[in-house]
Amino acid sequence: MKNVTVEDVARNCGLSRATVSRVINGEARVKPGTIERVKRAIDELGYHPNAHARALSGGRTGTVAVLLRGGAWRPYYSTLLEGVEEVASRAGLHVLLRTHEYLEAAQAILEEGRADGFIIRNLDEPERHRRLFDRLAARGAPFVLVGDPVGDCQSITIDNVGGARALAHHFAEHGFRRVLFIAGPEGHIDSNDRLYGFKLGLSEKGFDQAGLELVRGDFSTPSGFNAMRESLQSGRPEAVFAANDRMALGAMLQLRQAGLRVPEDMAVAGFDDAYFAEYVTPPLTTVRQPFHELGVTAMVTLERLLSGGQANSRHIILPTTLTVRASCGCRYAGHNPPIPEDRFETS
């Protein structure tokens, strides 16, 4: 089965390759009638322009690379990618996904000309990312950062500070005096920002910082379980705020095992609004992250850069939402019946 090429289309409609190419690329200065003829020929022959020939001859690749840290996969990647893809596919762009050793891979993708632009979820290793950003800039390849804003690179982040601050205010309304914060790994920007926002919110409400205890986990459920145990050995806080929902879940499991009731004996809150948050017992009070919107915004922004435009803001921050359920001691009328829309499917 031989390939259909511009040549074939040109012959079929009695025009030149150049004209056919112009029609395909929607250039101005083509007679309407000509456009018609070309389009008919394209349909008739079932012609699809070869992507590599286009890219090689100076056109775009029509591909964006999405770089996410691998190693431990994160369920929210699904939601994020969905947002990215939604926008990309509408714009006729393809998504090249890379997680495994993406820093090395990114360079190859760039140098081999495989993508027009990049979306990069940079969480750690700032030095190595810097080098990558420099290379991208040198090559004139647009890129959008998701996670940690660096210098004046275009970035999209989530309002960690604001979310944690809102939760702190809520805790303050409950009147808690002794509070535990279960942090993520040292130096992790999300954990740091949440701690910062939490402290800020507490102090705004006149909270005595001496009542704040900090134990460190690694964002995993077991680490929350262990952190809670560690804290229990030195005393008993009135409330716990974990830097993510999974550690909050771990803390709840520890409390149950220690014979303590949530929220009667201790309030618990998390961050993320993970799938299970509303289904644990009691339903978890948390701060919701807009992962889907994060993906959408990242891709919309990249698209704008690709077409030579600029984003409205160099550093876009998406709002987070305090989601009050029952684990903080509030009344919660949720999931009864459970919410009807349920975006996740496991089968």
Show contacts with DNA in window 19-58 (CB under 7 A).
19-22, 24-25, 28-31, 33-34, 47-50, 53-54, 56-58
Report the alpha-carbon distance of residue 88 to residue 81 in Å, rounded: 10
10 Å CB burial of residue 288 (0-12, 13-18, 19+) is middle
Nearer to DNA, 59 or 185 (CB): 59
Q: How many CB atoms are located within 10 Å of the residue 20 CB?
A: 28
Check binding of 346 to a second copy (CB under 8 A). yes
Distances (CA, A) of 42 to 1, 10, 32, 61, 261: 17, 9, 15, 21, 69
Part of the chain binding a second copy (CB under 8 A), chosen from 35-43, 167-175, 204-212, 244-252 = 244-252
The whole-angstrom separation of Cα 327 and Cα 319 is: 23
Q: Out of DNA, a second copy, none, which partner does residue 16 contact, by CB within 5 to 8 A per kind? A: DNA
In DSSP terms, 268 is beta-bridged to 240
CB of 39 to a second copy, least distance (A): 17
72 binds, among a second copy, DNA, none (CB under 5 to 8 A by kind): a second copy
Q: How far is the CB of 166 from DNA (least distance, A)?
A: 49
Q: Does 18 interact with DNA (rule: CB under 7 A)?
A: yes
Please identify, using beta-carbon distances, which residue of 56 and 97 lies nearer to DNA.
56
| Residue with Cβ nearer DNA (42 or 180) | 42
**272 binding a second copy? (CB under 8 A):** yes
Q: Give the neighbor-by-neighbor strand order of the sheet with 267-269.
A: 212-216, 179-183, 239-242, 267-269
Name the residue among 306, 71, 125 with its Cα closest to residue 298. 306
Q: Which residues bind DNA (CB under 7 A)?
A: 3-7, 14-22, 24-25, 28-31, 33-34, 47-50, 53-54, 56-59
